[in-house]
Structure 1
Amino acid sequence: MKFYNREEELSELKRIQSLAFEENSRLTVVTGRRRIGKTSLIVKATEGMPTIYLFVGRKNETALINEFIPIIRQSLGVFVPEEIQTFRSLFQYIMELGTHQFFNLIIDEFQEFYNINKSVFSDMQNLWDQYRKHTKVNLIVSGSIYSLMHKIFQDEKEPLFGRADNILKLYPFKLSVLKEIMNDYLPKYTNDDLLALYTFTGGVPKYIELFCDNRALTVQEMIQFMVRDNSPFTDEGKNLLIEEFGKNYATYFSILGAMASSRNTQSEIETALGGISVGGYLKRLEEDYNVIARVRPILVKEGTQRVRFVIKDNFLQFWFKYIDRNRSYIEIKNFTALRKLIEDDYPTYTGKVLESYFKQKFAESFEFREIGSWWEAKGNQYELDIVALRIEKNKAVVAEVKRQRKEFKPELLESKVRHFKEKVMPKYKIEAICLSMEDM
């Protein structure tokens, strides 16, 4: 798959590169979930320039340095002594090189030093402070384990806190990019195909690339490609999260599994897990791991009991609901039954995902200042799929989302909006609409 999007990120990385080469060294941190395209972006931004690329595998430090030395020699055409055995010595040597030549230094999966030798971070801090003002090194570090990267660079107790000149977080592709990709690879795609791509990938580049490279871009082709023997998707959720969660991963997985099955309040999750208290786990999932979000009805103040928890990532939501939950099918290789289960559920499941799609579409239009949903404390008689506050004062859009427009009941929405306006937005001019797949 060709390189898509990331124009703003590319421009920023090239701007920083110019500053590093023309003035003095800069440190950029690139973060984002696994498969989001961090390495591809960094390589694209530095192509054509002298660049050292070092990947930090989980190995003994000396073995790692022995791998790095020939890479540096080849990348810059310089001599590097074999006697160097520690990353501290190697980093100092690299910074010395930066006193008389400019180059990019990319350190991928940087957080792995936390498992190899934690003192690397304080060593780097000391050397960076010593050399950065009189060297021309564009140092870019990237990492996929959110909690560790956040700790290393944004915890004030850590040695590298405050050393990054820029922290660049990568997000999934925008909807316009998904449409561009579908146009390139399947010009006659249907809106259902587009919705499936959004549902199964959430705009994560690596998953999209897998579908594109394997020419699996219709609803049925995507499901067939995901649910089969040796599928790259089978263990993906586990591979993404197990390092984040560590030894307590089973409890976190159970919580996420409950949430994927529409148990979205703390009490519902605790009931699903046999009554254990999950408050601390939910707090860490939200704040430390950035996997879930705490959602309140729009315009309701913090502290309300009307809180729902949602999995932020479309792929993980799908993986926990269908792949992890139905592991028994996979173990006995009954992929036919699992595919049928997903296909039968697909219309209902994607009806809810369609709400997220339109919320994202609203957000990307830059016409609104706040976007959310609304529901009452008890029951769901009056629940509104989307409530979006326009930039103009006292104007809002309320939307009912249906896969098929024929399922829409205008009189029911009118009743809900009338109640909502009286209770929450008496001064607002509200536009009530139905959104369906026709509007994608």
Structure 2
Amino acid sequence: MKFYNREKEISLLREVAENATSSAQMTFMVGRRRIGKTSLMLEVFKAENYVYLFIARKNEAVLCNELISEIQLKLDLPIYGEIKSFKQVFQILMDYSRRHSFTLIIDEFQELQNINPSIYSDMQHIWDSTKEKSKINLLVCGSIYSMMTRIFENSKEPLFGRATQRIHLKPFNIHCLKQILGEQYPTYTAEDLLAFYLFTGGVAKYVELIIQAKAFTKEAIIDVVLAENSIFLDEGKNVLIEELGKEYGNYFSILSLIASGKTSRVEIESIMEMQTGGFLKRLESEYYLVKRIRPILAKPNTRKLKYAIEDNFLSFWFRFIFKNKSAVEMGNLSYIKEVLERDYKTYSGLILEKYFTEKLSQEKKYNQVGRYWEKANQNEIDIVAVNDIEKKVVFAEVKRQKGNISLSKLKTKSLKLQQQFNGYTFSFKALSLEDM
């Protein structure tokens, strides 16, 4: 699959590399597993003088022996004596960068913590003492989001404040997904596009796997995702267990409930019979897996809160795979398909709402795009988009079929909210599959 949609990141990485020819640069890149961090860096620097070091969790001396072999191969740099610590490896590279400008990519950077916790302090001392005369372009990335942000953004950590650039790599947006699907399968339907968005969420690896399988229709995508030995079946565990740590069981239960429509803290706690405030806070602010949703214009301290899983694929995985893990473990994937087929219209309708919310946000016409509901979930409105400069508000109802939308009911539901927009003009939209 060709390279898509990273123009801004590519431009920034090249600008940083240019700056590194005169002064040392340190960039850290974050983003969920499978998002394409490594592919992006190798794509940008494939024609440049670079060293790529992958940090595997193993004995430090063994790892360093492997890294030194890679460095000698790429830089034609003679290295003498036994190198048994990462501190020595980094010192060699920083000394080399005084004479030569080059790019150093360190992948799975957070694993150094498990190999030797003192490495980050060693790197800090070497960086601080060498950077003024160095011409290194240091790029580090890792697949455990919380650890990577803590390493560089926690004021108690040695490398806090050392990075000169931060890149948060996000999923492909809907414009890019339409481009990819259109190039591969020009006759795709809205149903196909919705399925492509629902199952991949714009995550580069999932998009690549679907394209490689030539699964361009809703039915074909489902067959690939729920195939025997499909990597998608264990993907939620593979992506999250290490991230969430030893309490992953409680986190998984919460995420499964949210994915199944239990979106308020009260609902979650009534089922789990335990306090979940701390778990929800960490899922939002530390792991970036869920977000709090409050009615548009609601005060920040409102209790009318709902939670949503940010990642489309993980939402699907917790709703259909994890919830039915017994059937998966028995190899009864036909059962999962039956459940998915039964619930697909309802579930995909919710994802369609997210699609249009993202679409309106990306149009850059509005300063607020959100949902609205009143006490006891009365007068729910799927999308409210506000432009405070032009004093315009768009109210939108989203359903799979346009014929199921009543604009007159939408207008009635919005009456109370309209009162908070004195002097604004209002428009009402019916958004469905045909508007994708």
Q: Is the 8 A contact 1:37 1:206 kept in 2?
A: yes
Displacement of 1:184: 1.4
Q: Secondary structure at the match of 1:168?
A: strand
Q: Is the 8 A contact 1:417 1:432 kept in 2?
A: no
Give distance in 2, aligned partners of 1:162 and 1:45.
Answer: 25
Give distance in 1, aligned partners of 2:117 and 2:322.
Answer: 34
Partner of 1:397 in structure 2? 394
Q: TM-score, normalised by structure 2?
A: 0.98
Partner of 2:410 in structure 1? 413
- The yes-or-no answer on 1:334 pairing with 2:332 is yes
Partner of 1:17 in structure 2? 17
- The yes-or-no answer on 1:65 pairing with 2:61 is no
Taking the TM superposition and a 5 Å limit, the aligned residue runs for 1:115-194 are 115-194=114-193
Taking the TM superposition and a 5 Å limit, the aligned residue runs for 1:299-310 are 299-310=297-308
Displacement of 1:63: 1.0
**Which residue of 429, 433, 440 maps to 2:425?**
429
Give distance in 2, aligned partners of 1:364 and 1:400.
Answer: 18
Taking the TM superposition and a 5 Å limit, the aligned residue runs for 1:279-428 are 279-378=277-376, 380-422=377-419, 424-428=420-424
Partner of 1:94 in structure 2? 93
- Code of the aligned partner of 2:329: E
Give distance in 2, aligned partners of 1:82 and 1:2.
Answer: 43
| Runs (5+) with no aligned partner, structure 1 | none
Q: Deviations over 1:359-404 (max 9, x none)?
A: 11011111010110000022x3301000011253421111000111
Q: Secondary structure at the match of 2:367?
A: strand
Give distance in 2, aligned partners of 1:260 and 1:46.
Answer: 39
- Code of the aligned partner of 2:301: G
Q: Deviations over 1:235-255 (max 9, x none)?
A: 101111111111101011011
Taking the TM superposition and a 5 Å limit, the aligned residue runs for 1:172-321 are 172-273=171-272, 275-321=273-319
Q: Percent identity?
A: 45
Displacement of 1:234: 0.7
Q: Deviations over 1:30-63 (max 9, x none)?
A: 1100011000110111121111100111111111
Give distance in 2, aligned partners of 1:82 and 1:398.
Answer: 70
Displacement of 1:309: 0.9
- The yes-or-no answer on 1:7 pairing with 2:4 is no
Q: Is the 8 A contact 1:72 1:80 kept in 2?
A: no
Displacement of 1:149: 0.6
Give distance in 2, aligned partners of 1:8 and 1:391.
Answer: 28
Give distance in 2, aligned partners of 1:160 and 1:398.
Answer: 46
Q: Is the 8 A contact 1:329 1:335 kept in 2?
A: yes
Give distance in 2, aligned partners of 1:302 and 1:86.
Answer: 49
Q: Is the 8 A contact 1:373 1:385 kept in 2?
A: yes
- The yes-or-no answer on 1:103 pairing with 2:102 is yes
Displacement of 1:337: 1.8
Give distance in 1, aligned partners of 2:134 and 2:68.
Answer: 20
Q: Is the 8 A contact 1:367 1:391 kept in 2?
A: no
Q: Deviations over 1:141-183 (max 9, x none)?
A: 0011111011100000111000000000001101111011011
Give distance in 2, aligned partners of 1:271 and 1:191.
Answer: 38
Give distance in 1, aligned partners of 2:201 and 2:423.
Answer: 36
Give distance in 2, aligned partners of 1:81 and 1:206.
Answer: 40
Q: Is the 8 A contact 2:289 2:311 kept in 1?
A: yes
Displacement of 1:426: 3.6
Give distance in 2, aligned partners of 1:75 and 1:246.
Answer: 36
Q: Deviations over 1:73-108 (max 9, x none)?
A: 111111122411100011001111111111110000
Q: Secondary structure at the match of 1:326?
A: helix
Give distance in 1, aligned partners of 2:353 and 2:199.
Answer: 15
- Code of the aligned partner of 2:153: Q
- The CA RMSD over aligned residues, in Å, is 1.0
Q: Is the 8 A contact 1:19 1:26 kept in 2?
A: yes
- Code of the aligned partner of 1:70: S
Give distance in 1, aligned partners of 2:246 and 2:43.
Answer: 36
Give distance in 2, aligned partners of 1:18 and 1:192.
Answer: 44
Q: Is the 8 A contact 1:296 1:308 kept in 2?
A: yes
Displacement of 1:420: 2.5
Q: Secondary structure at the match of 2:192?
A: helix
Name segments (4+ residues, structure 1) moved above 6 Å: none
- Code of the aligned partner of 1:433: K
Give distance in 1, aligned partners of 2:62 and 2:258.
Answer: 42
Q: Is the 8 A contact 1:65 1:87 kept in 2?
A: yes
